Chains A and B, each alone.
Chain A
């Protein structure tokens, strides 16, 4: 039982490049979330999903897209990376919105 895994762990992008972050969970959870964490800002919700095939916008969705084609996977895409997207990205999943299980994070630097 691996819990929540994130791929990759680290990435450096140049401005304008694109990439996809993968989140996978093996707990059969309905809800999945993508957050970004910046110093002094806490956690900010980017997008989330309440079930396979559904997505919804969070607090800071601009510049990101997501897909939930399979229940166990939640993908976060950056179509044209900007330096403002330098951050640590966390994925979480849960069967109940309050009790979330977090992945180890992806540290992204955009130069």
Chain B
């Protein structure tokens, strides 16, 4: 079945770049997503990439997709304390009504 995997924790210094990685198994995924969950809140869509793209940049966020290796990454430039949150990658394949979420990566930013 479909599976999405992420490492559980990442700790970075304020001002550095953060890279959060994700691997997925469903080769038919048409879109891949990154969601952010701040403490005590629901998830918010951060960005997404279409499967025929290799890269997408949105201000401090860069999404890289390696479709051959089924690897997705989210790079946050100049990481700030406000970026501390849990980040989830997710995929939805063709003809499916559901998102498959990874287990989430907790990003901790220290001064």
Give min CB distance, A58 to chain B, whole Å.
Answer: 7
Number of interface residues of B (CB under 8 A): 21
Contact check: which of B8, B40, B44 meets A40 at CB < 8 Å?
Answer: B8
Indicate the size class of the contact surface on chain A: 20 to 34
The residue on B at minimum CB distance from A3 is B42
Count CB-based A-B contacts (< 8 Å): 52
Asked whether A97 and B92 contact (CB < 8 A) given A102-B44, A103-B42, the answer is yes
- Indicate whether A13 reaches chain B with its CB closer than 8 angstroms: no
- Closest 9 interchain pairs by CB? A102-B42, A42-B103, A98-B92, A43-B101, A102-B43, A98-B31, A97-B92, A97-B97, A42-B101
B interface vs A, CB < 8 Å?
Answer: 8, 31, 33, 40-45, 48, 88, 90, 92, 96-99, 101-104
A interface vs B, CB < 8 Å?
Answer: 4, 31, 33, 40-43, 45, 48, 50, 56, 58, 90, 92, 97-105
